[in-house]
Each structure stands twice: as structure tokens, then as C-alpha cells.
Structure 1
Amino acid sequence: MAGITDEQWRQAGLLWDYLQMHHPLRHCDAAIGLGSHDLGVASTAAALHHAGWFPRLVFSGATTPTTAARFPRGEAVHYREHAIGLGVPDEAILLEPRATNTSENIVLSRRVLHEAGIRPRSVMLISKPYMERRAYATTRKVWPEVEVVCASGAQRLDAYVRAIGDGELVIDMLVGDLQRVIEYPARGYSVEQEIPPAVRGAYESLLRAGFDSRVIP
């Protein structure tokens, strides 16, 4: 794929903005840090805990094919160690090391919280910026009674691309996450989300241009 055009960056920006929920922060009974390739999730969780937005935190995530090289002992384990290194007390962190998808992140984290005697009425979901909407839609499906606040590191798309170091990969991931937002409700994995026509048009254009390495069959 030859370079990324200005129009493709504009389209990617539409997806980036849509995939974030833009929830205002508020105090929650607990938080779930959703495992991924992005250690920034753990950094964001640590900062939010230090700011007092929640008292207990579950890090969730196993070793998956896309993160095994980066986090060989599992996403949750590495997140926990990183957060402790940033000053989060060990006793504030619960570990969920088995989840391999977003639904499992939520269902298994809820189980870990319940086993610790915590039955939250509100949960803060901490994720990569572009995973917020998928995490929200999944939680509304599998844990509908809990109130959800989505949070992620406050970054512009260009800053995130610089941090990852691969613009094509980032656009591929944006396209892949939006595909899941679109298709997962019919598969029973999440609730429907309204998708503005401009966002859907940008998504379809990027797909046609070949940004599809993270698309599922």
C-alpha cells in the first residue's frame, strides 16, 4: 500500500472520534482495565486511580496471538506490574488473566469482582481510545444492569500514531473495531450503536482502499 493520503487521514479521524464515547469522568465503584497491545491502558488506569475516580481495579486479559510477543505472561499480568510501578497499591488491583475477547473481559471481570465481595453499581471501562464504543456496546449486552463510564488516554489521532509508530496499522485497527461495532449485534455479542452516515462512508472507503488487516470474516 503506497502512502496514506490526506483524505484517508480525514476519514480515519472520523472513525477515531466516533469510536470514543466522550463520557465525562465520574466516580465509579470499580474499574476494568481491558487488555490489549497498548500498555497506555495501564498508565491511564493508574492515573485515574491516583485521581480517586475508583477504589478497586481489575486488569483483564490473557496472552493472545497479537500480544504474546509484547506481553508473554499475559496482558493483565503486565498491566498490573506496570500500574504497581506507577504507584498503584497492590491491594487495589484484582487480576483476571483468562479473557481473550471483550465479552470475556467483562463477564470474567464481573466474576472476579463478585468473588472479592464487590458488586458494583457503576464501572469505569478503561481501554485504548478507539475501543471505547465496542467495550460500551459489549457491556450493555452482557452486564446491562451496571452503569458504564468509558475512559482512555486523552490523545489526538496523530499523537497515537506517533506512539504506535505505524499509521497503516492504526487505521487497520480503527476499521477493524468499527466493523465489530457494526457486525457484533447480529452475532449476539453487543447492542446496536447508531452510526452516522459520514462515519459509515469513511469506513467503507478505507475498506476499499485495503485497510483491512484487522477485519474479521
Structure 2
Amino acid sequence: MNRDSSHLPAIDATVRALSKVLWSYHNLDQEIPERVDLILVAGSHDDRVAQYGAELALKVPSRFVVTSGGFGKITAEIGGEPEATRFRRIMESHGVPTGQVLCEENSSNMGENIQFTHRLIDEQKPTSPVARAVVVTKPYMKRRALATALKQWPGVDWVSAGPDLSFEEYASADVPERRMIELMVGDTQRIDTYAAKGFQVHQEIPSAVTHAFQQLVDLGFTRFVER
């Protein structure tokens, strides 16, 4: 959905500095194990997540590789094929053998990504349960993805991972800077509210992050903020 640009808040040096505070908070840097049971590539509008998922699947031995996602906040507006289907196709085009990637095409949010993938793996009747897993997502969603996975699929040693991109490198023609900032602001709110609702584990939010979040809300970056 197009919005009237004359009513949108400007993106200037102050906005970028505040946004980088959120980016640094969300973009966790965790060590990826040498071997895992599951690589879960969470679908989104950003094809670079699938490309990174392919790189990981070719480098890290795993019993299961899953792409997960139907249509989310952004892809529901765009339409086309489900996120998981598109991601599997991208991963195969980057060298992952055809047939290796399982596809979960019904989820519409991170909680369902985890829940429905859990169900899909159970349907494979594994000889042993998943004990170690990586959830792959956008850099600024790594914290919330990890917090969600730990809550929705307990008993698994989860780490989160994503494309190795800086804040300055991330925005592109396909992933506009404004939308990235708006999504980060929304995800920062959800770190707090979704833990309270029982959707994900509690995460400490430093005062600097709370301040940056509130400043961006006050400036009008509220497209994905829940009222």
C-alpha cells in the first residue's frame, strides 16, 4: 500500500543515529555450532535471508533444513507465492540440493514459524528430537526470533543468525530504509509486549534502547507500532 510521502517523517542524521541504537540491540552476534539438527529459515520480504540460509545449509551439517512462511506484514501486500516457497527456490538456486529443503507455507508470524516447523519436523518421525537449531532471519529481527524460538520450542539449544550486513549496508531498492526503520521500531515494542503476552521469553531492554524507540515513535515512525 502506497502512502502519501508528504505526510511521512523525514529520515535525517538524528533518525539514523536513533535507528542504529535499535539495530545494535536487535542484531545479536552468536556463534553458530559446527553441526545442528535444524536450520530454520524464516520467510520474509528480504531474499538475502534465503541466500544466507543457503550459505549456512551448505556449510553447517544439519538433519533438517526448513523454509517457513506464508504471507507476513509486507508480503501480504505484495502477493505472489508464499515466502517459504520463494525461499526454497532461492536456496536451491544457490546450490542447496533439490529436495533437501522442507517447506512450511502456512505461518504468518514468527511464533507460527516456530510452531508449524515443530509440527512439520514431528511429521517426519525423527529418530531423535531436535536438540540444537539455528533460526535464520533479518539482522534486526535476530533477537526477537531467538526470544520467540526459546518460548515456542523449549528444550532446544537455539541460536539466531542472519546476513552479515551493517545498518548502512542493509537498505536497498527492494528493502527501503524507511520500512526497515518502521519494522525495527515495531519489533522493539514487541520485545516488551510479546514477552508479557507469553509469546516469547523476556529480554532486558536497556534504557538507551527504550529512549531511542520512544524518540522514533514521537517522530512518527509508527507504521508497525501496536496501539
Does the TM-score normalized on the shorter chain lie above 0.5?
yes
What is the one-letter code of the residue matched to 1:63? F
Please state how far the C-alpha of 1:166 moved relative to its aligned partner: 2.3
One-letter amino acid matched to 2:119: R
Tell whether 2:22 aligns with 1:15. Answer: yes
TM-score, structure 2 normalization: 0.90
Residues 122, 147 of structure 1: 8 Å contact kept: yes
Identity of paired residues, percent? Answer: 32
Go from structure 1 to structure 2 and tell me whether the alpha carbon gap of 1:180 and 1:65 turns closer, same or farther (over 3 Å shift): closer
Give the superposition deviation at 1:68.
3.6
DSSP-derived class of the 2:90 partner = helix
Q: Which runs of 4+ in 1 moved over 4 A?
A: none
Are the equivalent residues in 1 in contact too, given 2:46–2:175 (CA < 8 A)? no
The separation in 2 between residues aligned to 1:65 and 1:128, in whole angstroms, is: 14
Give the Cα–Cα distance (whole angstroms) in 2 for the partners of residues 32 and 212 of structure 1.
Answer: 29
Alignment check: 8 A CA contact 1:172 1:214 kept: yes
Matched, 1:185 2:192: no
SS class of match (2:85): helix
Which residue of 54, 59, 62 maps to 1:54? 62
Equivalence map 1:10-159=2 (5 Å): 10-26=17-33, 27-64=35-72, 66-68=74-76, 70=78, 72-118=80-126, 119-159=129-169
Cα deviation, 1:107-143, whole Å, max 9, x if unaligned, reads 1101111211332101100001111111111111111
Matches within 5 A, 1:166-181: 166-181=176-191
Letter in 1 for 2:16: W
User: Which amino acid in structure 1 is aligned with residue 18 of structure 2?
Assistant: Q
CA 1:46–1:9 in structure 2 vs 1: closer, same or farther (change >3 Å)? same
Structure 1 unaligned spans of 5+:
none
Q: Distance in 2 between matches of 1:123 and 1:165?
A: 27
Residue in 1 aligned with 2:10?
A: 3
SS at match of 2:117: helix
User: 1:137-166, CA deviations, whole angstroms, 9 ceiling, x for partnerless residues?
Assistant: 111111111000110000001111135452
Task: Select between 151-160 and 114-123 the one with higher mean Cα deviation.
Answer: 114-123
The answer to whether structure 1 residue 214 and structure 2 residue 224 are counterparts is yes
Change (3 A) 1:99 1:2: closer
Q: Which amino acid aligns with 2:51?
A: S
Structure 2 counterpart of 1:142, which letter? Q
In structure 2, how many angstroms separate the alpha carbons of the residues matched to 1:65 and 1:192?
Answer: 24
Bigger shift: residues 68-77 or 138-147: 68-77
**SS at 2:11 equivalent:** coil
**SS across alignment from 1:29:** strand
Q: Whole-Å Cα distance in 1 between the matches of residues 87 and 41 of structure 2?
A: 8
Structure 2, unmatched stretches of 5+, are 1-7
Q: 1:144 corresponds to which letter in structure 2?
A: P
